[in-house]
Amino acid sequence: MTGELRVLGQVEVLVDGTHVDLGHARQRCVLAVLAVEANRVVPTDQVVDRVWGDHPPRRARQLVSNYLSLLRRLLAGAGVDGVAIERRGGGYVLLVDPRRVDLHRFRRLVADARAQTDQARALELFEQATAAWRGEALAGLDTPWIATVREGLVRERFAADTDRLDLALRLGRHTALLPELTGRADAHPLDERVAAQLMLALYRAGRPTEALDHYRRLHARLTAELGTDPGPDLRKLHQDILTAAPTLTGTPPGRASVTPRQLPSAPALFTGRRPELAELDHTLATTRDDPETTGTVLISAIGGVGGVGKTWLALTWAHRNLDRFPDGQLFVDLQGFSPTNRPTEPADAIRGFLTALGTDPARLPADLDTLAADYRSMIAGRRVLVVLDNAATAEQVIPLLPGHPSCTVLVTGRTGLASLIDRHGARHLSLDVLTRDEARALLARRLGDRRIQAEPDVTDDLIDLCGRHPLALAITARHAATRPRVPLAEFATELRDLGLDALDDDDPAASLPTVLSWSLRHLTDRQRTLFVLIGIAPGPDIDLPAAAALIGLSKADTRKILHALENHSLLDRHPRGRYAMHDLVRAYATADDHLTEPARQAALDRVVDFYLHTAYAADRHLNPHRQQVTFDPPATGVHPHPLPDLTAVLDWLDVHHPHLLAAQSTAETRRRHQTVWNLAWTLGSFHWRRGHRRDALTVWQAARTAAEHLPDPNTRILAHRRLGNAHAEMEQHEQAMIHLYKALTLAEHHQDPAQQANAQETLAWAWARQGDDRKALEHEQRALAIYRTLGNPVWEAEALNSIGWYAARIGDYDTARDHCEAALSLNREHDNPDGEATTLDSLGYIDYETGNHREAIDHYHQALTLYRELGDTTNTAETLDRLGHPHAALGHHTEAREAWQEALDHYRRLGRDTDAEQVRKQLDDLTEPQ
């Protein structure tokens, strides 16, 4: 007999309309967990967590098994066909046709409705979806997981109902909808889309005064409670009602933003391009529209020379078709033809997409394949538009392509992207400059018909001088519009003198600079100075403190200049107070000759000093017991950014890591050898904690070269030692040993005991990386002997712990424990949490190897607490890896799996593929108790 599973109300099963008794609430909760995840395996541990939360009974896993056995018998006894509960791969799965589970039927109907081009049919599907609800989802059940799922389902239903009401309004059902819309507006008084629907229905029902009253009440409430005004869509609807706009009689207000909504605003001066827009419309209309149909993703590749309007066309078409992509729009500038920056890596672009789609950035995998798979999974079956702007090659684009035909992709780029067309069926659209009529319409839109008609011949000259190039025309129109009393002939003369006829060249550096040089004449001296300096500043963007150091002004004055540049469209403000230039604008700024070379170099010195000294202060937070290195004071007027605590330190370093690397490159170009070395030194602790192994190698290679020009032999010794350490981290053992023994030889030659001890200790670690723990122990014992003569207890503790570790590795556990316990006492006595954590980890290893598994777990947990407080991702991963073993030895399979899974996630983010593969095997080999 046909059965139906229901969770959109009470959890129940119906067989030919008759209810099946499913037993008590906990048993129904187990069924609900599997029904929500129908046809997907739910691990047993997850079932337990979702049914009992943080306080499961001791025999929870057995109870789950018992409940499911009872449910199988109940369903079989009721004669339910086509529903099966099976155990698979450490979990359970409910096998059922999704159409027989009301939740999945609801979601399918909503997806079909949103994909439907026939509005009447779409409304019918939405109404069928709404009918699946019988009350509060999962009613009668109460666990944290149930509450979370219930909240998510409420949002899904609200979104579906909102889309349904939009359709009903389009179909003229405003009068019948008024009671429902009024109730929704009362329940959601600050929701602007709900308000817009009610206002439109009231207006169409002949009650415009009530519509305006509702807007006034909402406006007042938004101001009072949120300190904001209604959004642009609602303001436009309000204005349309005031003016009785004809479009209100049959067209609903604009659709509210749907997350993710990453599209930049539509270009205000866009004109023409009717054939191209029609071709994009035709391409979409002739592609199969059913998400259930297996097919290819629709891709349109817009090609043409730089600045010809590819992005303008893509954005205009996207904004005109927002209603076709209700599940969101993704946008990324791939910087394919940036004269100063490298093209955006596909992995970086996908990380941005996943974050916009709701993924926690801290949990993003490191490798491209996993990122791409997660991205494709998240948007599969969703009506999403993906705009990939300024692509360099097809290879850059291919990882960003969705895998499901419900999505549409627009790509812009200067190249033909041939393999994208050949291998993925992209529809190519080649974009040329504007026609004369389109160029004239662009100028008329900005300057007004009267001004154009007053100087028709001059207008033709402007069009010719700009080569009918959209970006050149837009810049020219903006400057002319802001100087209404200046005749157009004067602008044409300037353009002719400056040679703007070169703007239709495919080389952006040879085309746009002329237009920009003319526009920059209207900046103040300070504004132009900062504009030029940002162009040459290290890093992909800049924030206020760095910009203040760059120009040598106060933050207050610098902020005013940044705002002015932003207002001149020469600078874009991004989240977290970061400012960036478009690649072509930056190329011009770099070439601008407004400043003398000494002024440029002085500015670079200031901003590099800002980054160096802020990073040095950050390093002192990260590793206060580290060997002291004295730096020269920063340039006059440069003040390091204050970093009050460890959280602020790590946040600043994470954000500014690219800038610090670029600052070292700038210092290298400037032959500031000491600064090159200093930047490598300040990044050491951060690179270790965050696992930036390749960057560590790069900065120390530069530092070693710089050290050859420095008088202090310690800089050469340290550079060789740290470079050897970086090579060892990369498993480049031969190069590591060359540099480490060179460091030891130099330290002995200069009779520097501290450097000798440090070299011995790093050699010990490098030998251990190669698996030779006995040789490692010999070097570490030599290091300890020297450290004890220096009177530095923290260094002594470090060596004691390392000896303990290596002794344990060769099976001498008594020696290992003695040394590690001595190290632990010293670290605690001298308040060295980093060393304390490392020693606790060593003691955990010793306990595990000697069969003291519970003691091992305790030591590992203590170490993990400290590592997490320190933000030490590298050691957190390694300790989690080791923690799983004593748990597994005690039969704590759940705890072992949790530790190893977290370690695996960390290793993947750190790019440690070998370690990740080993942990994955450990997880595979972990037996599941029956």
Q: Residues 826-870: pLDDT tens digits?
A: 999 999 999 999 999 999 999 999 999 999 999 999 999 999 988
Q: Is 14 helix (H, G, I), strand (E, B) or coil?
A: strand
pLDDT, one tens digit per residue, over 601-643 is 999 999 999 999 999 999 999 888 887 788 889 999 899 999 9
More confident residue, 811 or 284: 811
Whole-number pLDDT of residue 413: 80
The rounded distance, in Å, linking the Cα atoms of 73 and 61 is: 19
**Dihedral sign from CA coordinates of 567, 572, 575, 577:** negative
Site of tokens 């350490």: 725
More confident residue, 341 or 745: 745
pLDDT of 506 strictly over 50:
no
- Residue 259's pLDDT band (cuts 50, 70, 90): low
Per residue, what are the HEC states of 51-62?
A: HHCCCCCCCHHH
pLDDT, one tens digit per residue, over 553-585 is 999 999 999 988 876 657 878 888 899 876 556
Whole-number pLDDT of residue 281: 85
pLDDT, one tens digit per residue, over 278-322 is 888 888 876 644 343 334 567 788 876 556 788 889 999 998 888
The rounded distance, in Å, linking the Cα atoms of 420 and 267 is: 27
Strand positions, DSSP E, 195-318: 298-303
Cβ atoms within 10 Å of 239's Cβ, excluding its own: 10
- Residue 710's pLDDT band (cuts 50, 70, 90): very high
- Residue 518's pLDDT band (cuts 50, 70, 90): very low
Closest CA to 769 of 794, 815, 734: 734
Site of tokens 């002939």: 489
Angle between helices 25-36 and 144-170 (to 10 degrees): 50
Whole-number pLDDT of residue 930: 37
Site of tokens 């927002």: 322
Q: Which two tokens stand for residue 442?
A: 């662009």
Closest CA to 481 of 462, 457, 500: 462
- Cα-based distances in Å from 453 to 450, 460, 470, 476: 5, 11, 20, 17
Whole-number pLDDT of residue 583: 59
Cβ atoms within 10 Å of 927's Cβ, excluding its own: 9
CB 8 within 8 A of CB 137: yes
Instruction: Kindly report the pTM of this predicted structure.
Output: 0.50
Weakest-pLDDT range from 421-425, 448-452, 745-749? 421-425
pLDDT, one tens digit per residue, over 408-438 is 999 998 666 767 877 788 888 888 778 999 9
